Homo-oligomer: A and B are copies of this chain.
Amino acid sequence: MASDSPKQRWSTAEEEIMKATYRALLRHGYADLSISRITDELDKSKAAIYYHYDTKDDLLVAFLEFAVDRFEETIETETGDEPPEDIEHVIEKLLPLQPDEEQRQLQAVLVGLRSQAVTNEVFREQFTQIDERLAATVRNIVERGIEDGTFRDVDPSRVAEHILATVNGAMYGRVTTDRKSAAAAARVSLASYIDSELRRRS
């Protein structure tokens, strides 16, 4: 009942396994991930992993949740009451102009996991929900902007999907190509779009 002791999702051992999986994925990528390679990053044996997870698939599903949690923590967005700034804020969280190493790594791992969504239904459901939540966040901001008169009477859903697709695509390009300034260029153009197409002329 106390305010601390928040229901733990991961025991200490499990969290160590998740972190080792994270490091192994960074080093080898999803296609070359194996239990042995996770063990290489972990101060435990293979059998220890199988004590906590029945199969490799179970471990991967758990890791997907772990990575998604981390992702959604980093974009947790305390939303203000200035729609244009709120949108900028969300975009900066999703597609930082100058991402630090931690952000780049998490995105790289997520892209590896997300590609599995093509053939794995559990993964696809997770990423469907992620995009659903992100689109809803943007849509809500646009709706508020329309109500308070900051934004034109656009279709909030369409605009939200446009923004989400651009941000996702720019991030995708950032981790799968060497086109260093492409993501920033897309972001600048997106901001200018929001300003000119969304914002009501005064």
Contact = CB atoms under 8 A, between A and B. Distances in A.
A65 interface: no
Interface string A97-122: 00000000000100110111111100
Nearest to A175: B118
Contacts of A124: 176-178
Interface residues of A, number: 54
A172 B128 CA distance: 12
A189 B164 CA distance: 11
A153 interface: no
A35 interface: no
A135 to B, nearest CB: 7
A53 interface: no
Contacts of A114: 115, 172, 176
A127 interface: yes
Interface string A31-49: 1010000000000000000
4 shortest A-B CB distances, which residue pairs?
A169-B169, A115-B115, A162-B189, A165-B169
